[in-house]
Amino acid sequence: MSYKFRNILFIFFVIIFFVMTAFFSLYAAGYRLSLSSILKGEALIQKTGILVLDSKPKGANIFLWRQFRGILFNDNVLRNKKLRTPYKIKNLLPGEYVLNLELDGYWPWQQKINIYPGHSSYIEDIVLFRKNLPIKFTDSLTQKISLCPLDKKIILEDNKKIIDLKTEQEIFLGDNISSIDFLGPGLVLLNSNLIFDYLKNDYVDLKNNNFPDGGNIKAISGDLFYLQDGLRSYSIKSGKEDILFSLDNIIDFEVSSNFYFLVLKDDQETSLQVYSRRQKDLIRSIKLPISDNYEIISPDNYSNFIYIYDRVFEKIYVINLSFEFDRSWKVVDNVDGFNFIDGENFVYHSDNEIYVFNSGSAENFLISRLNKEVKSLVWHPKNYIIYSTDKDIFILDLKYDNQVINLVSLEKVSNLALDRIGSVLYFTGKISNQEGLYKLFIQ
């Protein structure tokens, strides 16, 4: 080997050393060389970003493709790497990617994401839903159902039954029962005037107190409130009855820890009147359009808003109690069905459209417009909407581009009921000539 060749070789390795040192230094500092960027007219050296992923449940396989606009192929970023959630992917070139998560026994999840130079993108709230078939645990007709999440009981009104979802035991209430409504934990109202304790499987001894038919009875904080020549209260424990308001024009009422809410109607006007719970002093009187079909509805978490539903015209009047002026309400039209998200937000459907209404801003937001009419919907606590059409049940992802999963297809399906933690969905329906009450494990 000649002296000249050794010098050339030495210089070559010195150049390689400095190039590799610069390359690794740039890589360690969060930069990458991107030949494909030149094709798009971008810089050869680009600042990279980080993608932080997690899912529930964990262990989902991660697939990531980089999309190139105007080019007929996508780059499989991870290639043959077997990555699972949770994971942090570093040194990603900025741009648009397609992220896909897959886990055996669960519906796949896919979303377009963007990586920005010098930033970390966090996608840690991905919920994967189980890919299951519904399980029938009792025969019944397809009908409207009511769920008491605290006691894990379901009412089948047409079948005149209460079903324990834990033990699957059934309580038949009798052929003479025309209506069944949950009053509270352990109690149901039968035929609008009988109280039944389904935990003791016996009627409540009301100590000769007779409730009127259609008296609008409600159980609140262990006491019964009902309409009979005004608003009255009754203590099941002591048998004491109190006359709270001697008014004969009360349409509906609600009782909170601090207030009484009364909807009153006479020949000239309808109004919502708010009284203090302790002194029964009138605090607010808010005029409403004249109607005798109002029903006060309240979310589980009380807020500064009270909601009044017009059953005939399918309107919800959202009343802001913190406003001082009289006309402090907003009307939401064409509400076929609704479900509260929290004290200030609710989701509702109107024909084939799904909306979210925010009471604070008094605005509704169109979430999705479908090609079929929505029959029922429930709010999932992880920021999803579960809804049904006449034959299908879907999950709508509000967090990521309103993705839709078709959970199950049936011959027909009733309204939906969801347990408190959002893991089990209940409905009555018909699948392959098998009609009954079904449960579907979704998480």
pLDDT digit string, tens, across residues 184-204: 778 888 877 788 888 888 887
Residues with Cβ within 8 Å of 300's Cβ and at least 6 positions away in sequence, in order, are: 340
pLDDT digits (tens, 9 = 90+) for 129-142: 999 999 998 899 99
Residue 399 pLDDT greater than 90, yes or no: no
pLDDT confidence bin for 26, thresholds 50/70/90: very low
pLDDT of residue 378: 94
Average pLDDT over residues 43-68: 82
Average pLDDT over residues 288-292: 87
Average pLDDT over residues 284-309: 84
Residue 4 pLDDT greater than 80, yes or no: no
Residue 72 pLDDT greater than 60, yes or no: no
pLDDT digits (tens, 9 = 90+) for 414-426: 999 999 889 999 9
Residue 402 pLDDT greater than 60, yes or no: yes
3-state secondary structure the chain: CCHHHHHHHHHHHHHHHHHHHHHHHHHHCCEEECHHHHHCCCCCEEECEEEEEEEECCCCEEEEEECCCCCCCCEECCCCCCCECCEEEEEECCEEEEEEEECCCECCEEEEEEECCCCEEEEEEEECCECCCCEEEEECCCCCEEEECCCCEEEECCCCEEEECCCCCEEECCCCCCCEEEEECCEEEECCCEEEECCCCEECCCCCCCCCCCCCCEEECCEEEEECCCEEEEECCCCCEEEEECCCCEEEEEECCCEEEEEEECCCCEEEEEEECCCCCEEEEEEECCCCCEEEECCCCCCCEEEEEECCCCEEEEEECCCCCCCCEEEECCCCEEEEEECCEEEEEECCEEEEEECCCCEEEEEEECCCCCCEEEEECCCEEEEECCCEEEEEECCCCCEEEEEEECCEECCCEECCCCCEEEEEEEECCEEEEEEEECC
pLDDT of residue 164: 87
Residue 246 pLDDT greater than 60, yes or no: yes
Residue 434 pLDDT greater than 70, yes or no: yes
CA–CA distance, 125 with 54 (Å, rounded to integer): 7
Q: What are phi and psi of 277, to 5 degrees?
A: -70, -35
pLDDT of residue 13: 55
What percent of the chain has pLDDT above 70? Answer: 82
pLDDT confidence bin for 103, thresholds 50/70/90: very high
Q: Which residues of 390-421 are buried (b: 16+ CB within 10 A; e: fewer)?
A: eeebbbbbbebeeeebebbebeebbbbbbbee
Residue ranges of domains in the chain, CATH in brackets: 34-127 (2.60.40.10)
Bond from prior residue into 86 cis (ω within 30 degrees of 0): yes
pLDDT confidence bin for 374, thresholds 50/70/90: very high
pLDDT of residue 70: 46
Residue 121 pLDDT greater than 60, yes or no: yes
CA–CA distance, 183 with 190 (Å, rounded to integer): 10
The token duo for 18 is 């400095």
Average pLDDT over residues 33-48: 54
Residue 435 pLDDT greater than 60, yes or no: yes
Q: What are phi and psi of 107, to 5 degrees?
A: -70, 135
pLDDT of residue 209: 61
pLDDT of residue 412: 92
Residue 235 pLDDT greater than 50, yes or no: yes
pLDDT digits (tens, 9 = 90+) for 317-367: 998 887 765 556 889 999 999 999 888 899 999 999 999 999 988 899 999
pLDDT digits (tens, 9 = 90+) for 143-188: 999 888 676 889 998 898 998 888 888 888 888 888 888 887 788 8
Average pLDDT in the chain: 83
Residue 31 pLDDT greater than 70, yes or no: no
